């Protein structure tokens, strides 16, 4: 039966990349409602300036080039049009901000880990040490959370 109120936590194995090879740690995550999750994602992503948005659009032209049969002249004309477009002034009501740190993101979405998988209890200090010593650990932990919570990778 589907529970309308899911369990407040869920545990998933996370492969933490290390120089000696990946180590699996079972991480206990906090369930988030859609609204809380969207706020978490928004705070983890800095607002983009108009220039960054144009830069992203230009970078995506490589994808367009592969997907749409477009001539080089058409692409060059499109790039010229984009480059001549006056960028809008930055909106002071929506200023860029400093994204939350890896450690803050982990502390928001993780409730703990299985202690026999890690040589210490879950704490802010332990998370700081983990992120300092294992460069890809934060990405692995947060990516697994996002994938599991949203079921981004669905089985066929």
Residues 41, 106, single domain; the answer is yes
Per-residue pLDDT of the chain (156 residues; tens, 9 = 90+): 989 999 999 999 999 999 999 999 999 999 999 999 988 888 775 555 555 555 555 555 555 555 554 566 766 666 666 666 655 555 566 555 557 889 999 999 999 999 999 999 999 999 999 999 999 999 999 999 999 998 854 454
Residues 137, 66, single domain; the answer is no
Evaluate whether residue 127 is within a structural domain.
yes
**What is the domain count for the chain?**
2
Tell me what pLDDT residue 124 has: 97
Residues 106, 121, single domain; the answer is yes
Taking the whole predicted model, whether its pTM rises above 0.75 is answered as no
Q: Is 40 left (phi over 0), alpha (psi -120 to 50) or beta?
A: alpha
Q: HSE-up of 152 (CA within 13 Å, CB side)?
A: 7
Tell me what pLDDT residue 101 has: 87
Please answer whether residues 140 and 14 qualify as being in contact, where contact means their C-beta atoms are separated by less than 8 angstroms. Answer: yes
Residues 36, 103, single domain; the answer is yes
Instruction: Pull the structure tokens for residue 47.
Output: 């607002």
Domain boundary among 84, 109, 131: 84
Q: What are 14's strand-pairing partners?
A: 25
Residues 64, 38, single domain; the answer is no
Tell me what pLDDT residue 151 has: 82
Tell me what pLDDT residue 154 has: 47
Evaluate whether residue 143 is within a structural domain.
yes
């Amino acid at each position: 039966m589907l529970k309308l109120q899911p369990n407040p936590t869920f545990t998933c194995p996370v492969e933490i990349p290390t120089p000696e090879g990946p180590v699996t740690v079972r991480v206990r995550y906090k369930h988030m409602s859609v609204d809380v999750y969207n706020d978490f994602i928004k705070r983890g992503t800095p607002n983009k300036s108009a220039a960054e948005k144009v830069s992203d659009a230009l970078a995506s032209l490589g994808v367009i080039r592969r997907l749409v049969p477009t001539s080089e002249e058409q692409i060059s004309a499109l790039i010229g049009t984009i480059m001549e477009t006056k960028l809008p002034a930055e909106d002071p009501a929506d200023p860029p901000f400093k994204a939350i740190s890896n450690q803050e993101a982990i502390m928001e979405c993780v409730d703990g880990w299985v202690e026999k998988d890690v040589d210490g209890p879950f704490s802010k200090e332990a998370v700081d040490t983990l992120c300092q010593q294992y460069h890809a650990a934060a990405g692995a932990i947060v990516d697994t959370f996002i994938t599991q919570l949203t079921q981004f990778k669905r089985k066929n």
